[in-house]
Structure 1
């Protein structure tokens, strides 16, 4: 469902969380200290950051604060045994989106992770993201804007467009799209997906969504 950077210095917990998230369809890059996390953070794009706080090298608070200053927009969850109101305040001030205290149930972690990954945009410094010369997406109002006018999208088309925009230029495989678009109690449909793709292409242009044979789709904006 998403690419996750996990920073956790407890080897057993790191392994447990990594295996659990991978079993639930996520791609996890796991590290054990703040310096290694800092290095990995800028090597790739992530859908979620999952940071312990008290880690060797750079602690989680400092790492995330620096990341936000460098325009890293991926949502972040702190996993920590710190439980004071002051620590909670410091965590959110550094730029996190959620906070889960140890010990925690893996199912609770899964719910929090999946919820953040499926939402819209986070920590963007601008309200409009350009798609083409006359097309942009309004983050604040969750609207597609064409020639200055808001254009209505269906619920699934809107979720699909957000997924594409957050992963612009990358091949998004069919399985990842299914997991993002359909909830747990819904049955994914390849026919329905093709319909949503067709609907989006009519609005933003066929050239924006490229089919990659037997793999998935790639979203391309006009530079």
Structure 2
């Protein structure tokens, strides 16, 4: 399976070095130089690991880490920083950092740690069951979605929207929450796009089924739940 790493580093020479080394190791690499750009990329894509500089323009690395952990508790996040003081390391770990490397570092050690974190994540993912709401199942490893025995063909955006709904089963999610988490900041304020994609999803997920799983909460937003449980 293709493994994609997000590199968030405002020093462009360092970012380019990391990109070249990681691509040489066979990874796909997405590079961002700004905290807000990185957050938008995180909301709109799936990454297997994130390399995160602490000192960033627009949004600090620590604040970016905090927001990442609000949505994803599992993706490995390695902090890269020139600060080696113990309080800084403690703050990073308290916010959910997986690992911490102080600049300058040896690239071979960084790559070895990345491989170790990915092995651990992949092993955990193999043990993790597919998401399920009623007879609707979603397998993140294969990106397969089924309603009963029937496999559903979803576009990437439809898949991301359904994944977020299923990860928050029974929670009422506002249109603004769905915009921010599924589309990112570029769609801020245009909540009509959420209604459009909910209609697309309903046609594929609920139209042919006796039990409807995707619910509208009038005046608030949407939720997914199996009311016959």
User: What SS does the aligned partner of 2:87 have?
Assistant: helix
- Could you tell me which residue of structure 2 aligns to residue 25 of structure 1? 26
- Residue 13 of structure 2: aligned partner: 12
What is the distance in 2 between the residues matched to 1:117 and 1:53?
Answer: 21
Match status 1:94 vs 2:95: yes
- Superposition deviation, residue 133 in structure 1: 7.8
* RMSD of aligned alpha carbons: 3.6
Deviation at 1:70, TM superposition (A): 2.2
Normalised by the length of structure 1, the TM-score is 0.57
2:141 paired with 1:167: yes
**1:119 partner SS:** helix
Residues 25-56 of structure 1: CA deviation (Å, up to 9, x unaligned): 00100010101101101111100011000010
64-73 vs 22-31, which moves further: 64-73
Structure 1 CA distance for aligned equivalents of residues 140 and 34 of structure 2: 27
Contact 2:130 2:140 in 1 (8 A): no
Unpaired runs of 5+ residues, structure 2, are 145-149, 152-212, 214-229
Partner of 1:58: 59
CA distance in 1, matches of 2:123, 2:15: 25
Structure 2 Cα separation of the partners of residues 108 and 39 of structure 1: 29
What's the CA shift string for 1:110-136, capped at 9, x where partnerless?
A: 001111111137999xx86547989x9
Partner residue of 1:114?
115
Partners of 2:142 and 2:62 in 1: how far apart? Answer: 28
Describe the SS at the equivalent of 1:5.
strand
In 1, Cα distance between the equivalents of 2:83 and 2:123? 24
- Alpha-carbon distance change, 168 to 64 in structure 1, aligned in 2, over 3 angstroms: farther
The answer to whether the 8 A contact 1:65-1:94 is kept is: yes
